[in-house]
Amino acid sequence: EVQLLESGGGLVQPGGSLRLSCAASGFKFSSYEMAWVRQAPGKGLEWISYISTSVTIKSHADSVKGRFTIFRDDAKSSLYLQMNSLTAEDTAVYYCARGSQGSSYYFDYWGQGTLVTVSS
């Protein structure tokens, strides 16, 4: 069974840093593209980061570019999001999501999410 389990969320002060983790199981992690998607309280979904297989391509939304970095450790079947210079606008539930394989691209599995709250 495919499972994605996020961790690392919590309360952080403005300007602080946090590292989110996503532990994957039930599939060959190294063969899949992965992404982070967030959802601010009461708001819609916002894609923020993408990483290809073999770490050949990384992409970040303009809203987090230069502050957030996505990376992966295929040996540990884990995805990470390093978040720096956090602001109140980064308060959200952060989901990791698996990219589908094949000619059509979509997020076929999602984790349960981890809440990040940026507040003093």
Partner 1 sequence: IQMTQSPSPLSASVGDRVTITCRASQSISNHLNWYQQKPGKAPKVLIYAASNLQSGVPSRFSGSGSGTDFTLTISSLQPEDFATYYCQQTYRTPPTFGQGTKLEI
Footprint of partner 1 (CB under 8 A): 35, 37, 44-47, 50, 59, 61-62, 95, 100, 103-108, 110-113
Residue 37 or 86 with smaller CB distance to partner 1: 37
Q: How far apart are CA 70 and CA 80, in angstroms?
A: 6
Q: Is 31 left (phi over 0), alpha (psi -120 to 50) or beta?
A: alpha
Q: At a CB cut-off of 8 Å and minimum separation 6, what does 29 contact?
A: 72, 74, 77, 78
Q: How far apart are CA 70 and CA 25, in angstroms?
A: 19
Query: How much is the CA Rg of the chain, to the nearest whole Å?
Result: 14
Residue 16 or 47 with smaller CB distance to partner 1: 47
Question: Measured from the CB of residue 73, what is the shortest distance to partner 1 in angstroms?
Answer: 22
Question: Measured from the CB of residue 13, what is the shortest distance to partner 1 in angstroms?
Answer: 26
Question: Measured from the CB of residue 48, what is the shortest distance to partner 1 in angstroms?
Answer: 8
Question: Measured from the CB of residue 42, what is the shortest distance to partner 1 in angstroms?
Answer: 10
Residue 71 or 109 with smaller CB distance to partner 1: 109
Q: In angstroms, how far is CA 104 from the centroid of its own chain? A: 21
